[in-house]
Amino acid sequence: MEKLYSFRESEAIACASQNYPPLPVVKFKMGVKMSRKDFTLSPLTGVTETFFKRARDIDRVALDVLNNHGQRGVTALAAATPEDSGLTARSWRYEVVKTQKGYRVDWYNDNISEGGAIVAILLQYGHGTRGGTFVQGTDYVNPAMQSIFDSAAENIWKEVQ
């Protein structure tokens, strides 16, 4: 299964061994790339004219749809996060970021353990304990986000059509 996150375990290990500050957040990305230059103009008919008018509003459309899906992602991640105290589930947030090629949604989890570990990563992949045992991780992120990723691109395309 394709991993839908951007985290390098080697970076976390390097930060811990060099006494650097811990990595601040877990970051998941979903990008939508669409621009006006993707379309060429020809004599406009009713359907084509409507399409191009909506394509000109792609910034507004992208922001509306991505903000909606960003919040849906936060809700899905919070619901799927394994709970003990509930702090990790309540620590999800998102940002819509404008890039050179379009927009993207980044999801973050701000819950950091006392030892500097990102709790959401520990829950996803598992972790060792002080006693030397290993706590198995639970893949909760991928199933929670799959429907969000699937519907975001579909909804943006519907808005532009």
Residues 44-88: tens digit of each pLDDT: 556 666 666 666 666 777 788 889 999 999 999 999 999 888 999
pLDDT digits 0-9 by tens, 36-50: 444 444 455 566 666
Angle between helices 141-160 and 58-80 (to 10 degrees): 160
pTM score of the predicted model: 0.63
Distance CA 7, CA 105 (A): 16
- At 21 the pLDDT is 47
pLDDT digits 0-9 by tens, 115-137: 888 899 999 999 998 899 999 99
Give 6: exposed, middle or buried? Use CB within 10 Å, 0-12, 13-18, 19+: exposed
146: part of which helix (H) or strand (E)? helix 141-160
Distance CA 60, CA 86 (A): 34
